[in-house]
Amino acid sequence: MRQLIAALRKEMLLQWRTRAQILAIFVFGATSLLLFSFAVGPNSTALRLHAAGFLWLALLLSSTLALAESFQLETEQKGLEGLLLLPASARAMYYAKAIANAFQLSILGIALVPVMVVLYDVSIENLFGVFGVIVLGAAGLSAPGTIYSAMASQARAKQTLLPLLLFPLVVPVLLASVKATSLLIAGDPMGQLKSWVTLVTSFDLIYWSLCGLVFGRVVED
């Protein structure tokens, strides 16, 4: 636990020092939201209907930028080898990185909500519920995203490889998050919210456990 806290402290410090980059990723996400509206046209009803989907697509596209940078510093000066020489487990390193990524994506998602409200004229019934789903969905993106980022950062064509590996895998998380967010925005008369939240939570549990188990093999071999 102490190892995890120490590693998490390092990750949060790194994120604070590279905050300009997070701001740039937010601008990218907001621009994506703006561009989606051009795809649908100036039809405010259609925009309102698809607002949750656009929000999650913007977050997914932004996540590839955020996650791709996640192991950049470790690979530049052989920092990863240095970290592995420390008397700390790779699992602590993984969970610290994944928590930091989930935190960053959650902040990004929450920051994109006002942009969505302004651009698509959406009135949200349950704002804190939407924030909760964003945190759950961001956790689902960051668990496999962190492990794939560790692989992609050391491979050729890293910019192509990360989305190629990540996008198919997170489809269920994306689907459940979009559905849950839509229900929280427009209301849930049929009581479907619980099942979608259960689905995204189950995926979170599976991916967080599985990726934590295998991460050691990815960085140590």
Partner 1 sequence: MSDPLFDNAASEGRPVVAWVLIGLGIATLLFGSYVGLFVAPQEKFMGEVYRILFVHVPTAWNALLALTFAFGCALMFLFRGDWRWDARLEAGIEIGVVLSFLLCCQGAIWAKPTWGVWWDWDPRLTTTAVLLAAFLGILALRRFVDDPVKRATWSSVATVIAYVDVPIVYFSVKWWNSLHQMQSTPNTVSSAFHLPLRVNAIGILLLLIGVITLRTRIAKMRLREELAPPEPAAGSAMEYAPGAGR
Please choose, from the candidates 58, 62, 66, the residue with its C-alpha nearest in 3D space to the C-alpha of residue 36: 58
Q: Which is nearer to partner 1, 53 or 172 (CB)?
A: 172
CA angle 58–94–21, rounded 5-degree value: 40
Distance between CA atoms of residues 121 and 133, nearest Å: 20
107 contacts 134 by C-beta, under 8 angstroms: no
Contact positions with partner 1 (CB under 8 A) in 10-39: none
State in angstroms the smallest separation of the CB of 178 from partner 1: 13
State in angstroms the smallest separation of the CB of 207 from partner 1: 8
Distance between CA atoms of residues 21 and 108, nearest Å: 12
From candidates 53, 111, 172, 186, binder to partner 1 by CB under 8 A: 172
Q: Which is nearer to partner 1, 44 or 159 (CB)?
A: 159
How far CA 25 is from CA of 71, 129, 152, in Å, comes to: 16, 24, 19
Question: How many other CB atoms are found less than 10 A from the CB of residue 77?
Answer: 9
134 contacts 109 by C-beta, under 8 angstroms: yes
Contact between 217 and partner 1 (CB under 8 A)? yes
* x/- letters, 144..163, toward partner 1 (CB under 8 A): x--xx--x--xxxx--xx--
Q: Which is nearer to partner 1, 13 or 214 (CB)?
A: 214
State in angstroms the smallest separation of the CB of 203 from partner 1: 9
Binding site residues, partner 1, CB under 8 A = 144, 147-148, 151, 154-157, 160-161, 164-165, 167-169, 171-172, 206-207, 210-211, 214, 217-218, 221
